[in-house]
Homo-oligomer: A and B are copies of this chain.
Amino acid sequence: MAQRNILQFIILGLIHERPLTGYDLTKAFDNDIGEFWSAKHSQIYPQLKTLEAKALLTHTDEVTGEKLTRKRYTITETGQALLNQWLRAPTPESHNGKDEFVLKLYFIQQQNDPRLRPMLIEQLMLHEQRLNHLTQQLTTKFPTGANATDFGHFLILTHAVRRERDYTVWLQDALHQL
């Protein structure tokens, strides 16, 4: 999935909100943002170096306790410019949606295949679980609906919720048709 290094923009975007460490960035992908992109620390740390070399970020060393140091990165003006450029640019439609499970279904052609029902049920449980988790997130973070300030966050969460809800409905429909 070689693209135009989307990761760099995500890093810039996150740091734009407030200065962050590599560790903070790594954690960010465990939360809602992880619903729509993922990255490991082994990809993040080198990328931070590259971005600093390009003067899109700068860092200052911080010390916790006696010895442990961390690097807190701040976005530069050039970095902000690049971020805005990315946001402004038209977004190519992502028909990436790689979904291993759906592919498996595709190869099981017979409606009466005995493997079908347990497979659908297994996925249904997984997605219902995820749906519950996301719904809970949404109601705790946005109990009164959309905020004016965290609107992007709100949109991303509602999208994730919708997506999972839709997935479960589709699975249930499929089960009913067996």
Q: Knowing A105-B152, A148-B111 touch, does A158 contact B170 (C-beta < 8 A)?
A: yes
B163 pairs with A97, CB closer than 8 A: yes
Q: How far is the CB of A38 from chain B (nearest CB, A)?
A: 7
Indicate which residue in B1, B38, B152, B177 contacts A108 across the interface (CB closer than 8 Å): B152
Q: How far is the CB of A24 from chain B (nearest CB, A)?
A: 16
Chain A contact patch, size range:
35 or more
Indicate which residue in B38, B83, B119, B146 contacts A96 across the interface (CB closer than 8 Å): B38
Indicate which residue in B13, B93, B110, B130 contacts A106 across the interface (CB closer than 8 Å): B13
Q: Knowing A94-B98, A115-B87, A148-B111 touch, does A155 contact B104 (C-beta < 8 A)?
A: no
A159 pairs with B102, CB closer than 8 A: yes
Contacts of A130 in B (CB 8 A): 93, 95
Q: How would you classify the secondary structure of chain A's contact residues: helix, strand, loop or mixed?
A: helix
> A22-33, CB under 8 A of B: which get 1 and which 0?
000000000001
Select the stretch in A44-52, A59-67, A121-129 that faces chain B.
Answer: A121-129
Q: How far is the CA of A18 from the CA of B69 in the complex (A)?
A: 60
Q: List 21 A-B contacts (CB under 8 A).
A: A33-B103, A33-B106, A36-B98, A37-B99, A83-B107, A87-B107, A87-B108, A90-B122, A92-B100, A93-B123, A93-B130, A94-B98, A94-B99, A103-B156, A105-B152, A106-B152, A106-B155, A109-B152, A111-B148, A111-B149, A162-B169
Task: Given contact pairs A34-B95, A87-B104, A163-B163, enumerate 4 new A-B contacts (beta carbons under 8 Å).
Answer: A38-B98, A96-B97, A97-B163, A109-B149
